[in-house]
Copies of this chain bind each other. A is one copy, B any other.
Amino acid sequence: MNKINGNLKQRFVQPEELYSFIGKVVTLQGSVYKIRLMSGFAFVILRTKRSMVQCIYSQEFACFPLENIKEEACLILTGEVVAEERSKTGYELRMLDVEVLSSPVEESPVVINNKCMETSLETLLDFRPITLRNEKERAIFKLQEGICRGIRQFLTAQQFTEIHSPKLVYAGAEGGANIFKLDYFGGEAFLAQSPQFYKQMMVGVYERVFEIAPVYRAEKHDTSRHLNEYISVDFEMGYIEGFEDIMQMETKLLFEILEFLKTEYTFELKLLNVKLPAITEIPAIAFTEAKQLIAQEYNRAITDLEDFEPEEEKLLYELIKKKTGSEFVFVTHYPSKKRPFYAMEDQENPDVTLSFDLLFRGLEITTGGQRIHNYEEQLNKMKRRGMNPEAFESYLMIHKHGMPPHGGLGLGLERFTSRLLEQTNVRYSSLFPRDMKRLVP
């Protein structure tokens, strides 16, 4: 019998510490990202966990032939750290010896080591397992990790409890036909469109909850902003005075995410040349008012009274940016018809709900609002909509047994990332996107 202990030993030098090893011989691990042949020597860029290390190969000091290493080979490299003013890092690593742990059997079918990936979106995604090795591609998802860390740090400090709700469900929360169905041991199950029912249930337990998890929409939209599986950042909070409390919490959340990125992800922000939006205050405008404003300013006819056209979202963004400087805008008081059965209506005007969307750089990234907490009110609204309350018995338990006034929101992680990076397609911010035509890799 052996004993396994937890005394982790660092085997090699970390790339981030190299500067303090100038004049010394070190060993480190990584993949060969790029070999650039110069006259009489070569630059070898080593890809490590987060950063790239510039190495110099020359027969003057290396004890192995350059042919021994290929791009994408995995190495254990021994080299001398030498001060070098012309290097951005202030040093370079002279390659003395390598141990090749593995070597690719074929050349890459697509060039992955240029500054940017110069391929079509389709090729980028077809070869995702290797195109993600590109420096900028991987920085996108490192930054996305940072966004999630920022969210968790902030919401935890605000006393939200993180939960895990099931994605195999008995009923859809959002209604409609856009739901994936599967055989479940002879019965029928659905894939959750949102954790709506569960996060509301959990408000009765912890007052404030959040979840970061996949949700599923069987939408047949083949657009630059739809995914059929995406990561939804959901929070829900009790004891609110109005739906403005939710918007305020989101405003602060977004502010804190960006502050977190500035501190912990400067490397990726710089590499991707991210223009961070300013968030001090976010303008809020009622849906009808926004519709009219766009119609007036751009001399457009209003064709859809109950929803924005994508073009209108972009115009609203331009308009608000011009008027206020903000790249975000809350649109409030959406028509009741367009909102789910659990949305609370405005007492003064039941045709509209106490709800909002948040648009960021012209794209809806959040939907939120206050929910009905009164049992009779919820029951009546369901009946008015021709729904069968018995099918929602377990959900209605919370209304029956006491719920505080509450509300919350869902933020699409890929959409937020995508607008932050000003990408032309949300797929660029999904590690392995799922759409009508894509299930592989």
A-to-B contact residues, CB < 8 Å? 1-8, 11, 29, 31, 48-50, 70, 72-74, 76, 101-106, 108, 127-130, 132-133, 138, 141-142, 144-145, 148-149, 152, 156, 158-159, 161-170, 180-185, 187, 189, 191, 197-198, 201-202, 204-208, 213-214, 216, 218, 220, 228-229, 231, 238-239, 241, 244, 247-249, 251-255, 279-285, 289, 324, 330, 373-376, 394-395, 397-398, 400-405, 413, 431-434, 436-437, 439-441
Contact = CB atoms under 8 A, between A and B. Distances in A.
Given A104-B402, A251-B4, A284-B4, A129 B207 contact: no
A105 to B, nearest CB: 5
A400 B104 contact: yes
A432 B166 contact: yes
Nearest to A293: B1
Q: Looking at A142, A164, A187, A280, which has the most chain B CB atoms within 10 Å of its CB?
A: A164
A101 B248 contact: no
Contacts of A166: 214, 229, 431-434
A74 B398 CA distance: 12
A400 B8 CA distance: 31
A205 B133 CA distance: 5
Contacts of A2: 283-285
B402 A208 contact: no
Contact of A400 (B50, B106, B284): B106
A48 B206 CA distance: 7
Given A4-B282, A4-B283, 14 more contacts: A7-B248, A7-B252, A50-B206, A74-B403, A101-B405, A104-B402, A105-B376, A128-B201, A144-B164, A166-B229, A168-B216, A180-B182, A185-B436, A198-B431
A202 B403 contact: no
Contact of A207 (B48, B144, B185, B401): B48
Contacts of A1: 283-285, 289, 324
Q: How many copies does the complex hold?
A: 2
B5 A251 contact: yes
A4 B161 contact: no
Contact of A5 (B3, B185, B280): B280
A434 B182 CA distance: 14
B156 A102 contact: no
17 contacts: A4-B251, A29-B207, A29-B404, A49-B161, A102-B402, A104-B401, A128-B201, A129-B397, A141-B161, A149-B152, A164-B214, A164-B431, A165-B431, A168-B229, A169-B439, A198-B432, A397-B441
Contacts of A181: 182-183
A168 B182 CA distance: 12
Contacts of A182: 180-183, 191
A74 B402 contact: yes
A145 B163 contact: yes
A431 to B, nearest CB: 6
Nearest to A358: B4
Contact of A403 (B102, B214, B436): B102
A159 B207 CA distance: 33
Contacts of A285: 1-2
Contacts of A156: 149
Contacts of A401: 72, 104-106, 108, 129-130
A152 B220 CA distance: 36
Q: Looking at A102, A181, A279, A376, which has the most chain B CB atoms within 10 Å of its CB?
A: A102
Nearest to A283: B1
A260 to B, nearest CB: 13
Contacts of A184: 180, 439
A105 B403 CA distance: 11
